[in-house]
Chain A
């Protein structure tokens, strides 16, 4: 039987988190100082609206009864305890660091809409570097450029008191310019939504819409991707 992984935790749930998306019992497997929340499945679930929502519901129920949770991508099925242990143990230090970041926090998502402006080219790497280093340095600089969302500048003073960490991704599908993921303390989502509403007029002609709270999906990727 394979293990379908929903999340990585620091400690067992304080209360009942219910069953998995296939109504299977949830188990919590300790590996290298973290816990994997898993359900036993013979095969991975098909991608459908129902299974995606069911996976998300399991993660949300878990998030409600633990302080720190790293959601795992849909469809992660590992072949037995050994594969699970190998996957977690190899990443344990980064998992623990990511869990410390998200403890007591949750995610808000901002979609930024507008007309795309000219994209500044990434600054070229210094010429004295070797070809391999120049290539990697160039990739790093492009990644930093793509994660920047200067359009949000006028909104940042409104959000700064609430935001504990940020992840962002620019898109090539205008008018959707970027998705920005903010980690906020649990219980402050209403204040975050109010801050977005209050600061949004200053963004014009760019617009932003906020959703949440969500489990910290983006911050699992930010730490471990």
Chain B
């Protein structure tokens, strides 16, 4: 596994809902000025995919709690 993917996994294994929003904001949005691309594209894609899945899971959990 590449270092970027290992970092992504480490982040996501500890993720909560507020952190997922931060991940979405910081790794998928924002001005990209150039310079070094610090997180490999594959890592970003992985994080974003997991973000989507985990947001879905969080939503289902919240629905069950409300129910």
| Chain A interface residues (CB < 8 Å from chain B) | 5, 8, 44, 46-49, 52-53, 55-56, 70-79, 83-84, 87-88, 91, 95, 98, 109, 111, 113, 171-176, 179, 181, 207, 209, 211, 214-215, 217-218, 220-221, 224-225
Partner of B52, one of A71, A171, A181: A171
- Total A-B pairs, Cβ < 8 A: 126
Cβ-defined contact, B36 with A77, below 8 A = yes
| Chain A residues whose CB sits within 8 angstroms of the CB of B29 once the complex forms | 71, 73, 181, 217-218, 220-221
Other CB < 8 Å A-B pairs besides A73-B30, A176-B55, 12 of them? Answer: A47-B10, A47-B43, A48-B7, A55-B26, A71-B25, A73-B26, A73-B32, A88-B33, A111-B59, A174-B56, A214-B21, A214-B25
Partner of B31, one of A70, A84, A111: A70
Within the assembled complex, what's the spacing in Å between the Cα atoms of A215 and B31? 12
**Interface size of B in residues (CB-CB distance below 8 Å):** 35
Within the assembled complex, what's the spacing in Å between the Cα atoms of A87 and B43? 24
